[in-house]
Every structure is written in structure tokens, then in C-alpha cells.
Structure 1
Amino acid sequence: MSGYWYGPYRYTSYMPLRHAALEGYDDRMKVVLRMIQEGIAGERQDELFYDYLIGKAPTEQEKQVIAGIRDDERKHRRLFLQLYGQLTGQRPVTHDENEAFQPPESYLAGIEQALFGELKAFERYRTIYKYIPLQYRDTVFEIMTDELKHASYYNWLYAKNR
């Protein structure tokens, strides 16, 4: 079939056909936008949680490690806000500012919770990476690799305090 590509459509002498790679694009973008909104809220909750852990950390070194992770979570939230704005032209509605915080039963339990939380975040963000337009993947990749780095730090903290 002869024709040429123009954006998402292939024009032929007969009629435009939707490009196969864009099948389900709208559904995927809805998932990405929902997951970005969840990421915005999740990063805020992580920030609050890590503030709590900083207050419970037994050494200055541990406080500094967790503070670095907390600062990355702030950066991730900012990056997700920017991504959402770039993808939609709008600012997302956030309801996470006044949510209640549940402290863990102990510092060590909090470290374990944080470790698993970072790994779960990586898995969620991998889905965003898979479906987001290519020009935004570097931003998501940065967030994903930070989450793996955080999991490594929390693994170290857990082993150190066990």
C-alpha cells in the first residue's frame, strides 16, 4: 500500500488509517496521568514519613542519609508536578496536604516500611516510564533510579540497626 506518514496517521490514496503504534494511546495516557497524580501524593507522604524517621534516627550519619532521601522525594514531587503540567497544560488537583500521618511502631519498622515503599514506587514508576511519551522518559528514569538508590540506603540502614 503506497502512502506517506503524517503525524499519527498514514495517508493513502484511499483513506487515513490510524497508526498501529497509537492504538490504545489515550487509555495509556489516562493511566500515566493517574499514576503521576498518585506519585505526587505518594512523594509527599514519603517526605512526611522521612521527616519522622530523621527525628528517630540514632546517629547523625543516619539523619543525613534519610534527609538526602527526603530531599530527593521533594524533587520527585516537583518533577511529577512539572510532567503533569507539560502533559495536560493544567496543574493537578492535590488533596494530600492534610492527610493524617501514621507513625511506625519503631525506627526499625519504619526503615523496613520505607525500604518496601521505595521498591513499590520503582515498580509503579516503571509503568509510567513504559507508557509516557519518549521526550519525558529521562525525567522518569531519574526518579526511578533515585528510588533504587533509596532502597539500597534503607537496606543498609536496616542491616545496621537490626
Structure 2
Amino acid sequence: MQGYGESFIQRLQRSIEEEWKDHDFYSRLKGDTSNRLFADYIMHAADDELKHYRMFQYLYLQLTGKYHEFEPEMISYRSFEKGVIRAQQDEFKAAQMYKEMLFMVPSPVAYHAVFTAMIDEMEHATRFGTIYGRLK
């Protein structure tokens, strides 16, 4: 299990970084398809990732008094199909981490943010699975 022994704040920091990275990844992945449905699904996920990033940064500010600063990373991929597979895997991992974080939340505001992100990540995994299925 990734993150075993991490505090809620440490996981929140990782979540902030991952949400930003995924937003950037999906914004680029969307440009690699001419299929309008695929592009809409991917853009929906990208928009949600930005929403999660902002929500988690605000939560971090409430809990620590400052924003989480980090050096953004970029996800690379070799093809649209490989990108879709990577995206779905990342969404499943994020949903699992948020499920674990729900048992650690320090406040009701934190619960709302983590629960919302967890549900959205499961939806994104379904959307990416749909895209992958249509590619075959």
C-alpha cells in the first residue's frame, strides 16, 4: 500500500501534486484525439482535477495556514492508447488513496473535499475505461 504511515497532511500534499499533474496530463491527452466524445470525457476529467487541486489547496491552507508549494512534474506517454491506460490506472490509485484518507479526516470540511474527489476519480476511471474499450 502506497503511503503507509503517512499523515493526513502528507497525503494531502501528495494529492495536491497529483491533481495538478493529472490536470496537465489530461489537458495534453485531449489534444491527441479527434474523437469528440473522447475529448469531452477527457476534458471533463481535466476540469475536475483542477477543481480538486483548488479544493485541496484551500483545505491545506485552512489546516496549515499556507498553500502547498511544489515543483510540478509532467507525465509522459507514448501513444493515446497508452495515455488512456495510464490515466485509468492513476484514477483507480487516487480513488483508493482518498478512500483511505476518509478514515483520517481532521474536520467535516476535509471529509467533503476528500469524498467529492474520491467519487469523481471513480467516475473518471469509468470514462477512461469506456474510451479504452472503444479503441479496441
TM-score between both structures, scaled by the size of structure 2: 0.90
Is the Cα–Cα contact under 8 Å of residues 21 and 75 in structure 2 kept in the other structure? no
CA–CA distance in structure 2, aligned partners of residues 128 and 90 of structure 1: 20
Structure 1 unaligned residues grouped into runs of 5+: 1-27
Verify: 1:104 aligned to 2:50, yes or no.
Answer: no
TM-score between both structures, scaled by the size of structure 1: 0.76
Is the Cα–Cα contact under 8 Å of residues 52 and 103 in structure 1 kept in the other structure? no
Aligned to 2:121: 147
Which one of the candidate residues 103, 125, 149 is aligned to 2:98? 125
Aligned to 1:137: 111
Is the Cα–Cα contact under 8 Å of residues 91 and 121 in structure 2 kept in the other structure? yes
CA–CA distance in structure 1, aligned partners of residues 76 and 116 of structure 2: 28
Distance apart, 1:102 and its partner CA = 4.3
Aligned residues: 131
Bigger relative contact order (CA 8 A; separation at least 6): 2
Percent identity of equivalent pairs: 30
CA–CA distance in structure 1, aligned partners of residues 70 and 75 of structure 2: 19
Pick the structure with more strand per residue.
Answer: 1
Please give the root-mean-square deviation of Cα atoms over the aligned residues, in Å.
1.5
Q: Partner letter of residue 83 of structure 1?
A: L
CA–CA distance in structure 2, aligned partners of residues 72 and 104 of structure 1: 21
Is the Cα–Cα contact under 8 Å of residues 36 and 84 in structure 1 kept in the other structure? yes
User: In terms of Rg, which structure is larger?
Assistant: 1
Structure 2 unaligned residues grouped into runs of 5+: none
